[in-house]
């Protein structure tokens, strides 16, 4: 039986999944250019170019066909997508699954609406991978992944929310206070899969302390922590060290943002997926 793990590129590229993951690219678009969020995109260069771009910038979710191509004639497709609260990607994926079943009547597809972005998707992909080590029973995997998803979470710290506000993904009133005076917005993925601001911190050091506090407030007890960042490895490492000190059993991994998260979390942005 051929099994394929899939996700859209909002998951970044984790390092802990043993099986191949087909990452369906979202796109970042400016007046001048379209950037495809595949493995070859240079995110730092893209962000620098976008800064000098003349007009509006934005993003586009994968098409139904792009999702179907990622399914790659597999008998079982297991995957996840960025929150349906902020993107049409999951919806495209669901239509792809329905269409796929018509041409592959025996195929099984389980696509989870992550209600989140970035590293929380990595946790879901890792879990699929671990479940597959034990069983290939579709119903068991589907049941267990849904239970697991109830115990995965996302928090973030952003130094700028311009892209989110300009693209209608965050209330502009909230955006106003950020970016001024070195403020960071600390927030989480809400139950509905939207951005829920929790705190404002002045400066990176305080933001990291607040993230550690929020991790604890949101029910973290020492399991997996997956960190992703836009060109901010020092902050990611600093946060990881504080987590390790407080919860010695923490299982931590750090990866850079690929295009989609890089564009929205912006320079310095941190995203943290974790188990509660
Ligand atoms: O369909 C599209 O064009 C993609 C739209 C994506 C919109 C938002 C992505 C946010 C990514 C920001 C920090 C944490 C977000 C929490 C999600 C619930 C990163």
Check if the beta carbon of residue 59 is closer than 8 Å to that of residue 37: no
Question: Does residue 179 come out as left (phi exceeding 0), alpha (psi in the -120 to 50 range) or beta?
Answer: left
88 lines ligand 1 (CB under 6 A): yes
79 lines ligand 1 (CB under 6 A): no
pLDDT of residue 139: 98
Paired sense of beta strands 224-229 and 251-256, if any: parallel
Helix or strand holding residue 4 (H, E): strand 3-8
Average pLDDT over residues 223-248: 98
Query: Does the structure show a pLDDT above 80 at 212?
Result: yes
- CA-to-CA distance for 90 and 80, rounded, in angstroms? 8
Query: Does the structure show a pLDDT above 90 at 184?
Result: yes
Query: Does the structure show a pLDDT above 90 at 122?
Result: yes
Query: Does the structure show a pLDDT above 70 at 149?
Result: yes
Query: Does the structure show a pLDDT above 90 at 49?
Result: yes
Paired sense of beta strands 152-158 and 108-113, if any: unpaired
SS3 188: strand
- CA-to-CA distance for 217 and 7, rounded, in angstroms? 29
Q: Is 157 exposed, middle or buried (0-12, 13-18, 19+ CB in 10 A)?
A: buried
Choose the residue to mutate in 84, 169, 192, 257 for probing ligand 1, maximizing ligand atoms within 8 Å of C-beta.
169
pLDDT of residue 177: 67
Q: Is 84 exposed, middle or buried (0-12, 13-18, 19+ CB in 10 A)?
A: middle
239 lines ligand 1 (CB under 6 A): no
Q: Locate 30 and state its tokens.
A: 């400016």
59 lines ligand 1 (CB under 6 A): yes
Least confident of 22-36, 179-193, 260-274: 179-193
Residue 172 binned pLDDT confidence (cut-offs 50, 70, 90): confident
Q: Is 193 exposed, middle or buried (0-12, 13-18, 19+ CB in 10 A)?
A: buried
- CA-to-CA distance for 120 and 38, rounded, in angstroms? 19
């Amino acid at each position: 039986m051929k099994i394929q793990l899939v996700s859209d590129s909002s998951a970044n590229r984790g390092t802990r999944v043993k099986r191949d993951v087909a990452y369906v690219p979202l796109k970042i678009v400016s007046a001048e250019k379209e950037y495809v969020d595949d493995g070859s995109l240079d995110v730092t260069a893209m962000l620098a170019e976008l800064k000098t771009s003349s007009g509006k910038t934005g993003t586009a979710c994968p098409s139904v066909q792009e999702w179907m191509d990622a399914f790659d004639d597999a008998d079982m497709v297991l995957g996840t997508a960025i929150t349906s609260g902020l993107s049409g990607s999951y919806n495209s994926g669901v239509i792809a699954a329905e269409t796929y079943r018509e041409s592959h009547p025996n195929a099984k597809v389980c696509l989870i609406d992550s209600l989140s972005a970035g590293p929380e998707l990595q946790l879901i992909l890792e879990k699929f991978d671990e479940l597959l080590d034990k069983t290939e029973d579709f119903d068991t995997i589907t049941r267990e992944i849904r239970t697991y998803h109830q115990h995965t979470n996302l928090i973030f710290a952003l130094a700028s929310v311009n892209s989110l506000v300009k693209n209608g993904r965050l209330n502009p009133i909230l955006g106003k206070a950020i970016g001024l005076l070195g403020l960071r917005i600390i927030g989480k993925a809400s139950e509905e899969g939207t951005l829920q601001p929790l705190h404002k911190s002045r400066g990176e050091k305080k933001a990291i302390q607040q993230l550690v506090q929020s991790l604890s407030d949101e029910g973290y007890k020492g399991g997996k922590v997956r960190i992703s960042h836009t060109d901010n490895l020092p902050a990611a490492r600093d946060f990881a060290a504080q987590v390790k000190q407080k919860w010695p059993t923490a299982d931590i991994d750090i990866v850079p943002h690929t295009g989609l998260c890089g564009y929205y979390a912006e320079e310095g942005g941190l995203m943290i997926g974790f188990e509660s």
